[in-house]
Structure 1
Amino acid sequence: MIASGDLARLMQSSTPHALLDVREKAAYERGHIYRATSLPRRLVEFRLPALVPARATPLVVSDEDGRLAALTLPTLGEIGYTDVRLLAGGLAGWRSEGRPLVEGINVPSKVFGERVLHEHKTPQLTPLELWERIERGDDLVIVDARTPEEYARGSLPGAWSVPGGELVVRIAELVRHPETTIVVHCGGRTRSYIGAESLRRMQLANPVVVLENGTMGWELAGLTLERGAARWAPAPSARSRAVAALAAKRVAAEDGIPFVSPRALAARLARREDQNLYVLDVRTADEYAAGHVAGAVWAPGGQAVQATDEYVAVRAASIVLVCDGFARSVMTASWLRRMGLPDVAVLAGGLPAWTADGGAVETGLPLAVPVGWETARARVARVSPGDLGPALIVSVDQSDAYARGHMPGAWWLCRSRLEWTIGTVAPDRQAPIIVTCADGFASTLAAATLGRLGYTAVSVLEGGTRAWVEAAGAVESGPTRLGDEPDDVVLKPYERGRAAMERYLSWEAELDAAGHSRSRLL
C-alpha cells in the first residue's frame, strides 16, 4: 500500500514510476489523478509491457476503492512486475484528504495545447470568418491534422488530410505560393495549435492560422462537414523533404535535441527490461508496416503529442523517436521535450541508418497477443463454431463491438469485473459456458479466470466471433443482453450532441497547468 501523501511526493520526484488507473474509460473520464495512465484491468496483459518496459519500475495501482486494484495485483506479479503498491483507500481516500481529481482524457496533452496557444498567440479564424473567406475564393489551403479515420468521418469542405506529424514533410506539396494562407484544424483545439506552430516553426513565408475549435466549432456555427472525403496529401517529394530537413536541423540545434546512434540504441534496447526505454516510430502506418526497428511502437507524430499518456506511462524514462531520416522525429521530439519529458532523443539517420548498421527489423502491424495467453490457452477447452451445443454464450468484447454484432443470445460482460458479474448470468458453476470475443485472445484469458472461480464446463470459441461470422453463423446486433455497465467505451463530444461539444470546448479552453478547468466537462 502507498498512502495518498506518499504518492503525491513520489509524483513530484524524479524517481521513475507509473501510476495506473485500472477502472474503465468512462470512470477515468469522470475523474482521475492528474498524470495517471488509464489502463483498464482488462487491457493489462495487452498493453502494460509496452507502457512500462522495465519490470522493476515502481507501480502504483488506483481505482475507486481498492477492490479492482486488488484483483489486478496477481496479474502484475505473473507478468513479472516486482514493485507494486495499491493506493490506500483508492481514489475515495485521495479525495477524502482534499486532493483533487481532474476530468477528461489525455489531459496533459490538452493542457499543453492550451499553453502553446497562449505562449505563441497562435492566430485563429472563427468558423464564420473562414466560411466567408472560402466563399470569396481566397487563396487558402486547409489541412486537417487529425488521423485519416477521423478526417473521413467528417472534414471541412475542401480540406486535405495531413496528420499532424506529417505536416512538416508534406506541406510543400500543397502550398506553392507564399501568399497562400494555410489553415490548420482538428476536431477541437490541441492538434490545431501543435500543427500550426510546427508550420510556423518552419519559418514559412505563408500566413498560418488555426480554425478556432475545429470541426466541432464548425458544426456549432451551423456549418456542414463533408463526409467521406479522400483528399490525402501527396507523398513528399525530394523538394519537400529538403524543406523539412532544413527546418528540422535548425529546430534540433535551437532546442538541443540529442541524437542516438544505431549502435547506442541497440545497446539500450538490450537493457530495456531493466531501464525504461520507449522507441516510438512516428511515421505513417504503411511505412511502419513495411519495416520498423524491432520492438518499436507505432506512434504517429501528431498522436504522440496529442495522446502522450497512451504511449508513455513512465515520464522519467528514455524516449527515442524514429522516422525515415530525422525531420519528423525532430519536430515531435521538440514538442515532447517542451511538454516536460526529460529524456527525448532522435535515432540518427532514422530507419535507413538502423538497417545499414545491421539492426533487427520487423514488418507488419504487431498482433496484440496478451501476456499469459499461451498459458491460459493450455488450460481451457476450445470449441469450433460448428460444435457449440447447448451452452450459455458470454462475450467479453468491448461493448461497442458487441453492439455492432454478436452471437445470438450472447451476454456481454466486462472482463475487468468478471469475478463480480458472472454469477448474475451464470449462477450454476457446472452449466456449460462458451466465452467469445472478436479474435479469441481476451476470451481465452476470461475462460481461465472462470476456471479459477470454480466453473467446470467452460470453453472458448476457437477464433472468436470472427470465426463464427466466417462460418456463416447468424449475428445479432444491439446492446441486447448487458450483464454489466458498458462503461468501457467513451463517446467523443461530437457523438454526444451539441451540448456536449459546447461543454467540451469550454472545459478545454479553460484548462490550467494542473489539469483543472473552471468549466465542467461532464
Structure 2
Amino acid sequence: MTSTARAAHPFITSHGLKAALADGEEIAVLDVRETGVYTHRHILFAASAPLWRLELLIDRLVPRRGTRIVLVDADETLAHQAAAKLVRLGWNQVSVLAGGTDAWAAEGFEIFSGTNVPSKAFGEIIEHRKHTPWIDADELQERVARGDKLVVVDSRTPEEFAQFSLPFAHSLPGAELVYRIQEIAPDPETLVVVNCAGRTRSIVGAQTLIDAGIPNRVVSLKDGTMAWLLAGRALAHGRHAALPEPGPATLATARDRAEVVARRAGVRLIDADELARFEAEAGERSLYRFDVRTEQEYVAGHLEGWRWVPGGQLVQATDEYVATRRSRIVLADWDGVRALTTAAWLAQLGGHEVFVHAPPALAPRVTGAEPVRVLPSRAAAPLVSPLQADALLNAGQAVAFDVDRRAAYERHHVAGARFAVPDRLQSFTAELPPTQTVLLVSPDGVLARIVAAELAARTHRDVRAIAGGTGAWAAAGLPTASGAEGVLTGDDDHWYSPYAHADHAARDAGFRAYLAWELGLVAQLEREGEVGIRLIPAA
C-alpha cells in the first residue's frame, strides 16, 4: 500500500488488492455505496457496508479494530469519506482501492452483480460438482396429483415462508433440516423435495440431507417457487407452522449424522479453555461467535456477547455477517446438530477457520434479543418527539425524509415524508430554504439519529431525528401512509426482487433473468480464479 499527496488515506492498487486477497492474512473489503448500487457492479469478496450506515454495521462486520480494511466504491467518490469515518471510530488499518471498481474492471478483473454472491455461487458449485439431483415443477405437480409418497420442505426462514410458499410445503429452514427431517419424513420410502424461492437454498438443503446420509431419496426443486410461478401455478400466502421437535431417538441419529459430516469437512470442536484463548486473542485475530438456533430459542437464553443468525442464513448470506476473510468463526452447539451442520458448510465455503463449541449445561445465559451497539462518529443531532415533529410539519416549518429502507417505507411511513437513501440526502436538502428544519425518520429511529448527526455536520443546518421513529409516530396516533409515492432514490438501497413486480410479465422476465444470472456464476468463478471452496467428496 502506498500513500499519495492527493488523499489522507493510503491507496492500494487493483493488483495489490488481488494479491492481498490471496496472501492468507486477514482482510476485509467493504463496498461503501448503498446496497442497491453495490448490487449492480462489485468485487466478489466485497461486503456491502454503506457509508452512512457504518456506525450501525462496522462493529459487527469487522469486530477487530486492527483488521486490514480496503474500502471500495465505483471511483473513489465515497471511499475516502468512509475511511475518515472509520478512523474516527477507531479502525486504524484502512486503505482505499485506487480508482474503485472502475479501475478493477479496467485491469481485466472479474466484476459481479447481485447479492450474497459468494454464497449463491457456492450453491451453484455444489450442484455442478456434486450433481445434486433435482426434479422440475411439472414433475412435482404430477407426483402431488398422483398422491405419491413425498414431502416438500421449504428451507428459507419462517418469515419468508409466511410471505409465500408452495401450498403443500413444510417450513424447515436450512440448519433445521438434519435436526428435524425425521419428524416430517419418518418413512425411508418418502421422497424429500427441498425448495426455496430460487436455487441456492434448494441445492444446499438437498445436498445437506444427502451428505448426512438420510435413507430417503432427496432432490431439490429446480428453480424453486420461481419455476412454480413461471409454470402458471399459484403460491399460498400467510402460512405459519411450528417446527416439529425431534424425539430422543431421532435426535441421537441426527447427531451422529451431523458429526460425521462436520468431521469430514474439517470442523474442529473446541472446549472452554480454547474458546477463552480465542477470546483473549480477539485483538490480534478476528473472532465471530454465532448462535444458529431459532430466534425463539436464542431469545429464551443465549451466551452473552454471541450473535444470533439462523444457520441456513449464515451459509446463504455469509457476507452479511462476516466481512473479514481468514477470521475465526465459532458456532455454539446446544444440541449437537445445527451448529455442526452449519459449520460443515462454512468450512467447505472456505475463507475462514470454523469451530464448534458446546456450552456447559450450566453456562450462564442472558435473555432477550441481540443488542446492537451504535458507534457515534459525530456529535448527536437533536431529537424531536413525534408530536413536536407533527407540529413543525403542519406549520410548514419542516420537511421529513425517511432514510432506512424503501421496502419498509412503502409498507408504512410518516404521512407526507419522502424516502431517500442517506448518501443522496445532501442534494435534496440543498434545494430547501435554509431556515426549514429537516426531520429524519427510520422505523425505530436509530438510523435516523446517525444520519441526522452526519447531515447536520455536513450542511450546518437544523437537522433533527424523530425519537422512536415510525413506530413511535404511529403509537402516538399520528397519520401514516403506505405506497411508493415520495420515493426519491429508486432502488439504491436494495436489490429489487422480481417477486415485487405486480405485473406478471415483468415478474416472469425478472425470474428468467435471475435464474440465468445464478447459473452463470459457475463460469464467473472459473474466471475469478481460486476462491477457497473445498467440497467434501460424496460419502
TM normalised by structure 1 equals 0.92
Aligned to 1:415: 422
Separation (CA, whole Å) in 2 of partners of 1:255 and 1:452: 50
Aligned to 1:385: 386
Higher deviation after alignment, 289-298 or 275-284: 289-298
- How big is the shift at 1:461? 1.8
Aligned to 1:399: 406
Classify the secondary structure of the residue corresponding to 2:325: coil
Separation (CA, whole Å) in 2 of partners of 1:155 and 1:488: 26
Matched, 1:319 2:329: yes
Q: CA-to-partner distance for each residue in 1:427-477, whole Å, 9 max, x for gaps? A: 41x433322222221221222123313434333222222211111111133
Matched, 1:504 2:522: no
Matched, 1:361 2:362: no
Aligned to 2:477: 472
Aligned to 1:18: 28
Separation (CA, whole Å) in 1 of partners of 2:234 and 2:415: 38
Separation (CA, whole Å) in 2 of partners of 1:69 and 1:237: 53
Please tell me the residue identity of whatever aligns with 1:179.
E
Conserved 8 A contact 2:188-2:216? yes
Separation (CA, whole Å) in 2 of partners of 1:273 and 1:479: 45
- How big is the shift at 1:194? 1.3
Separation (CA, whole Å) in 2 of partners of 1:224 and 1:63: 41
Please tell me the residue identity of whatever aligns with 1:489.
H
Report 1:81-120 matches (<5 A): 81-120=91-130
Are the structure 2 counterparts of residues 453 and 27 from structure 1 closer, same or farther at C-alpha, using a change threshold of 3 Å? Answer: closer
Aligned to 2:198: 188
Separation (CA, whole Å) in 1 of partners of 2:372 and 2:379: 15
Separation (CA, whole Å) in 2 of partners of 1:29 and 1:218: 26
- How big is the shift at 1:516? 7.5
RMSD between aligned alpha carbons? Answer: 2.0
Separation (CA, whole Å) in 2 of partners of 1:114 and 1:456: 50
Separation (CA, whole Å) in 2 of partners of 1:115 and 1:264: 33
Q: CA-to-partner distance for each residue in 1:140-167, whole Å, 9 max, x for gaps? A: 1111111111112221221110001001
Are the structure 2 counterparts of residues 266 and 419 from structure 1 closer, same or farther at C-alpha, using a change threshold of 3 Å? Answer: farther
Separation (CA, whole Å) in 2 of partners of 1:238 and 1:472: 50
Counterpart pick for 2:345 among 335, 346, 356: 335
Aligned to 1:462: 467
Separation (CA, whole Å) in 1 of partners of 2:471 and 2:44: 38
- How big is the shift at 1:216? 0.7
Separation (CA, whole Å) in 1 of partners of 2:230 and 2:461: 55
The gaps in structure 2 that reach 5 residues or longer are 1-10, 502-506, 528-539
Are the structure 2 counterparts of residues 76 and 117 from structure 1 closer, same or farther at C-alpha, using a change threshold of 3 Å? Answer: same
Counterpart pick for 1:372 among 371, 376, 394: 376
Conserved 8 A contact 1:257-1:345? yes
Please tell me the residue identity of whatever aligns with 2:401.
V
- How big is the shift at 1:43? 2.3
Are the structure 2 counterparts of residues 485 and 344 from structure 1 closer, same or farther at C-alpha, using a change threshold of 3 Å? Answer: same
Matched, 1:132 2:142: yes
Are the structure 2 counterparts of residues 482 and 159 from structure 1 closer, same or farther at C-alpha, using a change threshold of 3 Å? Answer: closer
Please tell me the residue identity of whatever aligns with 2:236.
E
Higher deviation after alignment, 242-251 or 80-89: 242-251
Matched, 1:488 2:489: no
Aligned to 2:458: 453
Conserved 8 A contact 2:279-2:287? yes
Classify the secondary structure of the residue corresponding to 2:258: helix
Aligned to 2:260: 250
Classify the secondary structure of the residue corresponding to 2:175: helix
Q: CA-to-partner distance for each residue in 1:54-109, whole Å, 9 max, x for gaps? A: 11111111111111112212221122100111111111222222323111111111
Q: Name the % identity.
A: 39
Separation (CA, whole Å) in 2 of partners of 1:485 and 1:127: 33
Please tell me the residue identity of whatever aligns with 1:433.
V
Separation (CA, whole Å) in 2 of partners of 1:196 and 1:434: 49
Separation (CA, whole Å) in 2 of partners of 1:294 and 1:271: 18
Conserved 8 A contact 1:413-1:422? no
Classify the secondary structure of the residue corresponding to 1:91: helix
Please tell me the residue identity of whatever aligns with 1:474.
P
Matched, 1:51 2:30: no
Q: CA-to-partner distance for each residue in 1:287-335, whole Å, 9 max, x for gaps? A: 1111222221212111111111111111200111113132111111111
Matched, 1:441 2:446: yes
TM normalised by structure 2 equals 0.89
Q: CA-to-partner distance for each residue in 1:388-426, whole Å, 9 max, x for gaps? A: 3332223223222223333233233321333444213x3
Conserved 8 A contact 1:18-1:59? yes
Q: CA-to-partner distance for each residue in 1:257-285, whole Å, 9 max, x for gaps? A: 21111232133224324320111211111
Are the structure 2 counterparts of residues 401 and 256 from structure 1 closer, same or farther at C-alpha, using a change threshold of 3 Å? Answer: closer
Counterpart pick for 1:157 among 151, 167, 173: 167
Conserved 8 A contact 1:326-1:346? no
Are the structure 2 counterparts of residues 413 and 254 from structure 1 closer, same or farther at C-alpha, using a change threshold of 3 Å? Answer: closer
Separation (CA, whole Å) in 2 of partners of 1:269 and 1:4: 33
Please tell me the residue identity of whatever aligns with 2:21.
M
Classify the secondary structure of the residue corresponding to 1:280: strand
Conserved 8 A contact 1:160-1:232? no
Report 1:277-356 matches (<5 A): 277-347=287-357, 350-351=358-359, 353=360, 356=362
- How big is the shift at 1:169? 0.8
The gaps in structure 1 that reach 5 residues or longer are 518-522
Are the structure 2 counterparts of residues 394 and 508 from structure 1 closer, same or farther at C-alpha, using a change threshold of 3 Å? Answer: closer
Classify the secondary structure of the residue corresponding to 2:493: coil
Separation (CA, whole Å) in 2 of partners of 1:12 and 1:257: 22
Conserved 8 A contact 1:34-1:514? no
Report 1:72-83 matches (<5 A): 72-83=82-93
Counterpart pick for 2:277 among 226, 242, 267: 267
Please tell me the residue identity of whatever aligns with 1:393.
A
